[in-house]
Amino acid sequence: MEVLVTALICFPFLWAILPAVIHNSKRRAFTVYLGCGIVMVLSVFTAIQWYLAGGQTLDFRLPYQEAFGEIFLWGDIFLMCFITYLSYKHNRLIIAFLSIISTVVPTILEKFGPELPAGPTMRFDWLTFIMVLIIGVVGSLIGVYAVGYMHGFHIHHHKEVTDRRSFFLSMIFVFFGAMFGLVTSANLLGLYFFWEITSVTSFLLIGYTRTDEAINNSFKALWMNLLGGCGLAVAISVGIIYFNTANLYTLIAAAVKTPTKMLCLLPIAMLAFAALTKSAQFPFSGWLLGAMVAPTPSSALLHSATMVKAGVYMLIRLSPAMADNYVGNMVALIGGFTFVAASCFAITVSDGKKVLAYSTISNLGLIVACTGCGYEETIWAAVFLVIFHAVSKSMLFQCVGAIETTIGSRDVEDMQGLMSIFPKLAFILMVGIAGMFLAPFGMLISKWAALKAFIDTSSVYVSTLMVMFICFGSATTMFYWTKWMSKILGASKREKSRDLTKKNEYISMFFHAFMMISLILGFPWLSEHVLKPLSNDMFGVVKQVISYENMVIMIVLLCGVFVIPFINYLLTKGQKGKKVITYMGGANAGDNFNFVSATGDPREMDISNFYMEDLMGEKKLFTPAILISSFIIVVYLIIVVGGALQ
């Protein structure tokens, strides 16, 4: 396993050199396809090998650990110098300051601080198993999709943007390597190195087009994530100085053993703070919204397989140490508040990518809230939410990108009647939307499990707030997804035209749809053979969160959602449909798009969704949301830090 994990981390970094230096379009495309295929096969093979070996938690050191330690150290220094240079170039000196502080402090402690006991630096367990598969499979499919999309992006749609596809595709592989390293690291010094790589690569991808907006948004992402990096640096410093360790799991065990000792909670609080910034929770959600200026593959990558998943991964790791304490309450309240606030904002926007961005922030908020409660049921729900969200959101971003390329718009209002014009794109979009809020998809089942766990939590006020958050957040979630779905199925005035989606884009999207349906069918198996052992590893207990009877009902619902419509399609295929004239509040003109009003005036039918911008739009509520969430974080951090200093 040591060799496989080492290969899993190192291969993407080394392979990233090839697309960076190959500028012939066809050769570069072949290189990316081959690299993504190898990453996918290697990740699946590594996960299966570990599973077949018994699925036991494996702690180990990398081969040539000392050499890797030096690479991590000098890599941190290089990243700091790179960020400092760019910050000076663009007059963003506060960002340089954050980078220097977050790098210099742990580096000095590592080189000149107390000598730390030798121990395992890597871990492979059930959570690693899940994350490796998400990164390797979903991430590689995004890489395949990116080749065709970026070709159209530069050749047909954005000729004014400098063609830097070699750089873009290279960064995708760097992301893979960083994420594999992050989810397998047990040592915080190594984890910090990979953590910073994800921050820097996301900064570079968001600023890809080099417009003023892209540059501003990329620096926003960088300073918010570097602020989290400072929290990570504090956690490392506290661990080394007070606990003589930089091992993540040693710090978690200390907090679990003495949950009332604030000094033990301090590194957990700092790690949680870093994770909140990375997972784009309020008040740090702005960087993920700004990431929309980047080409669609980077959005899919940031929202599904990497970056934000690093934050929720860290919180799932910390969850046993956050049960019923100040840190857990802070995380749960921020997550629950973000779930409701972001879903409300999603109602008020019509830009498809922005709806998906707010949906990502909202669903991450629910995952974060689950981790803050720190119970077996909430972690069961959180992990399933991570799995389904990764597949569904990757598919949705890719589909919206393909729709934008084909119809020239990503506005929800312009997708009226998409099912009758581009049925393949509409089908993929419908599966993705259904996966976010309908039964029997895992997102809805996970929300039910989270609701049950929130009710059972020991803290009355947290329980009450969490139940309110999940109820109102789920209602608003249903509202904006239903609006979008109804647009797709409505009548269209648009004439059929050529679908500009590339074959490799469809391969990725249809494989995502296949995975989504397979996850529902495999839900009982996943719960029994993956989530139960994970719960046993983290909490020492195994609970049946959802009964087998309910799982059978899910399979029946799956037949209702997919099988019955498919049978109906086969039975009616080839039959001519009968055109029905609809009532429009006046005399129909005969084409379902025009009518005569009660005053005798000819009118054209115009259907538009209700967005309620005046009630809860960004201009009204975004700033209050930032202030409320900032207040929650500051108050709880003051309590924890103040208690630790006493």
Q: Where are the domains of the chain?
A: 1-321
pLDDT of residue 415: 87
Q: In which residue are the tokens 């974080």 written?
A: 633
587-588 vs 58-60, strand pairing mode: unpaired
587-588 vs 594-596, strand pairing mode: antiparallel
- Report residue 38 CA to chain centroid gap: 23
Interatomic CA distance for residues 536 and 378, integer angstroms: 14
Closest-CA residue to 326 (of 375, 268, 378, 278): 268
CB 512 within 8 A of CB 141: yes
Q: In which residue are the tokens 């367990």 written?
A: 125
Mean pLDDT across the chain, nearest whole number?
85
The tens digit of pLDDT for each residue in 335-374 reads: 999 999 999 999 998 888 899 989 989 989 999 998 988 8
58-60 vs 122-124, strand pairing mode: antiparallel
Q: In which residue are the tokens 């506060």 written?
A: 94
The tens digit of pLDDT for each residue in 320-337 reads: 999 888 999 899 999 999
DSSP tag of 238: H
Cα distances (angstroms) measured from residue 1 to each of 7, 43, 53, 218: 10, 12, 10, 37
pLDDT of residue 543: 64
Say which residue, 569 or 215, is predicted with more confidence: 215
User: pLDDT band at residue 469, thresholds of 50, 70 and 90?
Assistant: confident
Tell whether the model's pLDDT for residue 608 goes beyond 80. no
